[in-house]
Amino acid sequence: MSDSAVEPADVDHIAALARVELDEDERTLFAEQFEEILSYFETLDEVPEVEREPELTNVMRADEVRESLDREEALRNAGEKEDGHFKGPRVS
Amino acid sequence: MSHNAYITEETIAGEDGPLAGKTVAIKDNISTEGVRTTCGSAMLEEYVPPYNATVVEQVIEAGATIPGKTNMDEFGMGTTTETSAFGPTENPAAPGHVPGGSSGGSAAVVASGDADLALGTDTGGSVRCPAAFCGVVGIKPTYGLVSRYGLIAYANSLEQIGPLAPTVEEAAELLEVIAGPDERDATTRDAREHDTDYEYAAAADGDVEDLDIAIPTELVEGAQEEVTEQFWNAIEELEQTGATYHEVSLPSLEHAVEAYYVIAMSEASSNLARFDGVRYGTSGGYDGNWNETFAKAREEGFGEEVKRRILLGTYALSAGYHDKYYKKAQDARAWVKQDFDEAFEDADVLASPTMPVTPFELGESLDDPLKMYLADANTTPVNLANLPAISVPVGDDDGLPVGLQFVGPAFGEKQIIRAASALA
């Protein structure tokens, strides 16, 4: 979508992937702003390919049972719960 | 006078230690057990963490009292502290202006004297920018120096928790308290395995004799004259006390802002997927198709800037665009690292203005996200390269504070603290 105009329908597609609903004003505003922001991001095309040396190492630990939050504490911030479980929205 | 710098004012008592008698305010994206932690978002308005972040444990053990949780741009996404769901914070040092962001509340409470010290978080400049705008000192540590356990993630590969204080020495004292490896954050590393130690406060001795400073031209050319004037005055002051400087060109820095935003937004789109209103967060109480109910909960819970970044990050990672944006941004990140490495072959520290601009007026930049992103030109390269940096106040332009940034090599906290201590 970045090579041409960004349409509100393109924004809708991305919003659906991201699970974020938008109102009409946000769709229009974002379409306008994304065009400008994405064309700025496209200056990354000028970046040469760089040989990367990752300094990544695996950090491992023994898989031992340790103290952790108890169930009640872990559920404390959930709006809906039942029998010690999180409760999601009713599907039907 | 209230600057709206706190979201929650609730005292957490300290134990006994080097910070006894001091207050340390905590940014509201760092978990405090039993005290709500909102990230400046309506999504987490009622979220009360069941555990403390490692840095909070360390501050309490060091004897400090926590006076409250400070205001911030929502989830750290902003340069002005105006995207907070709890309203903007005013800059105590420059009334009518923003305090910078995203750790604007933390800088404001230190600048106004409401707290002795504060912790902020820096993903692309969020400690250094508000430090510069409020006329205080802020440190962004080397990636891995400070534990992120209990920090609510925005962009894991970039962010670090860092101190804000009125002076370099006090900022260094707080850094000593929070630095060190943590088994709960596998990305932490022990500075002692990198040819240094944790005696940061002792490094604030103001001794810049024979200090070699490199000044990247790319980070000075783009700055306002009001800023560069104060910057060069400070460099001159350092020269008079024994330091030398040379200019250096780091062409990769021209692409740092876009690389930073692509990477940060991509990580944010993944990190913020957890906020669906089921385990925590506002749910709105919708029923039906889960994707649709979550989308509605997220529409209500997130502000505009957060939605903008989640969407742009989702786009940058989506099929067909990943190579064009995300992969290219990783190339730019590696290039920035190489450029910095080369610069440190001939210099002890790098110096630049912290921000290319003086503080915006309240409301000035809200309608133009790209303008706000570009203000991060001098701070974002440091996060991309995982390096330490400090912002130190170097005067003001007509009452608007200006900050100077020193950047050091990885685990070179003592070099930047020493250089900065010659100025404040």
Tens of pLDDT, residue by residue over B90-105, are 999 999 999 999 999 9
Where along chain B do its domains lie?
A: 6-253+331-421
User: Is B323 an interface residue toward A (CB < 8 Å)?
Assistant: no
pLDDT value for B424: 85
Residue B60 is inside which H or E element, if any? helix B54-61
Nearest to B56 by CA among B171, B183, B178: B178
CB proximity A89 to B under 8 Å: yes
Q: Do A76 and B48 touch (CB under 8 A)?
A: yes
- CB spacing of A34 vs B273 below 8 angstroms: no
- Upstream peptide bond of B102 is cis (omega within 30 degrees of 0): yes
pLDDT of residue A4: 56
B207 near B239, Cβ under 8 Å? no
pLDDT above 90 for A92: no
How far CA A30 is from CA of B188, B315, B371, in Å, comes to: 37, 13, 15
Tell me which chain A residue has its CA closest to the CA of residue B335.
Answer: A50
Tell me the ipTM for this assembly. Answer: 0.92
Q: How confident is the model at residue A2 (pLDDT cuts 50, 70, 90)?
A: very low
Tell me the C-alpha distance between B254 and A76, whole Å: 47
CA pair distance B111, B132, nearest whole angstrom: 11
Nearest to B162 by CA among B149, B150, B175, B181: B175
- Residue segments in chain B with a per-residue pLDDT below the cut of 50: none
Q: CATH 1.10.3470: does it fit domain A8-44? A: no
Q: How far does the CA of residue B207 sit from the closest CA of chain A (Å)?
A: 33
The pTM (predicted TM-score) of the whole model is: 0.96
Pick B288's closest partner by Cβ from A23, A48, A89.
A89
Query: Looking at beta carbons, which residues of chain B come within 8 Å of A22?
Result: 299, 307
**Cα A21 to Cα A23: distance, rounded to the nearest angstrom:** 7
Q: What is the CB neighbour count within 10 angstroms for residue B289?
A: 12
- Supply the residues of B annotated as catalytic: 27, 102, 126
pLDDT value for B2: 84
* Maximal CA-CA distance, chain B: 70
CB-based contact (8 Å) between B312 and chain A? yes
- For residue range B132-144, list pLDDT tens digits in order: 999 999 999 999 9
Where does B6-253+331-421 sit in CATH, by number?
A: 3.90.1300.10
Q: Where are the domains of chain A?
A: 8-44
CB B387 within 8 A of CB B338: no
Q: Which residues in chain A are closer than 8 Å to B276, comparing Cβ atoms? A: 19
The C-alpha of B368 sits at a distance from chain A's nearest C-alpha, in angstroms, of 8
* Burial tier of B392 (Cβ tally within 10 Å: 0-12, 13-18, 19+): buried
Backbone dihedral angles phi then psi of residue B358, each to the nearest 5 degrees: -90, 165
Do residue B287 and residue A91 have CB atoms under 8 angstroms apart?
Answer: yes
Cβ under 8 Å to B: A residues 11-50: 11, 14-23, 26, 30, 33-34, 36-38, 40-50
Q: A9 and chain B: CB distance < 8 Å anywhere?
A: no
Tell me which amino acid residue B399 is: G
State whether A18 and B318 contact (CB < 8 Å).
no
CB within 8 Å: A22 and B299? yes
Contact yes or no for B318 and A17 at CB 8 A = yes
Q: Which of these, B140, B136, B69, B139, lies nearest to B100 by C-alpha position?
A: B136
Name the residue facing B295 among A1, A19, A73 (closest C-beta).
A19
Name the residue facing A34 among B295, B312, B324 (closest C-beta). Answer: B312
Q: What is the tens place of the pLDDT at every residue in B314-347?
A: 999 998 898 999 999 999 999 999 999 999 999 9
Structure confidence at residue B167 (pLDDT): 98
pLDDT digits (tens, 9 = 90+) for A25-78: 999 999 999 999 999 999 999 999 888 777 778 888 899 998 889 999 999 999
Confidence of residue A3 (pLDDT cuts 50, 70, 90): low
Rounded CA-CA distance B88/B7 in Å is 11
> How many Cβ atoms from other residues are within 10 Å of residue B202's Cβ?
15
Average model confidence (pLDDT) across chain B: 96
Residue B73: which of B9, B12, B27, B34 has the closest Cα? B27
Tens of pLDDT along B244-296? 999 999 999 999 999 999 999 999 999 999 999 899 888 888 888 989 999 99
Query: What is the per-residue pLDDT for B50?
Result: 95
Residue B32 in contact with residue B69, Cβ under 8 Å? yes
What is the three-class DSSP state of B45?
coil
pLDDT at residue A1 above 70?
no
When scoring A19, A29, A49, A56 by the number of chain B Cβ atoms within 10 A, the one with the most, hence best to mutate, is: A19
Give the pLDDT confidence score for residue A57 in this predicted structure: 81
